[in-house]
Each structure stands twice: as C-alpha cells, then as structure tokens.
Structure 1
C-alpha cells in the first residue's frame, strides 16, 4: 500500500517531511524509547 502524497499549501517555510519518513522516525523513536519532549 502506498502512502498518499501531501502537497503543502502555504507559502514559504520549511518543506514538509515525507509521511513515510515521519512513520519511520516514530517507529525508531518507540523502539529505542527516545523522547522529543522536554
């Protein structure tokens, strides 16, 4: 199954991360019990 592509609508700013990349980051974060909250 392919993930849908999301095109940003706003002008300027940082480009959005790919959904697959975000999913992989969340899986790795969970596996290694990492946190981005402080």
Structure 2
C-alpha cells in the first residue's frame, strides 16, 4: 500500500496533528480513496 500525503495541520491538545492521505491503489476494489488521521 502506498499513500500520498495531501497535507497536515495542527489539531488538538498536546501538539496533536491531523493528516490527509490519498490511497494510490488501483485494484478495482470499492474502498475510500482518501484517509484522514
């Protein structure tokens, strides 16, 4: 699995950060293309 990072930003207490990732798999499966964490 390979993800491309679309960005990150400060988000919460104790220096937490949020990230947005693009799932680059092209295998025909029905899954979310974007992930956040």
- So what's the TM-score if we normalise by structure 2? 0.29
Larger RCO (CA under 8 A, 6+ residues apart):
2
Structure with the largest fraction of strand: 2
Task: Give the alignment's TM-score, normalised by structure 1.
Answer: 0.29
Q: Of Structure 1 and Structure 2, which has the larger fraction of its residues in helix?
A: 1
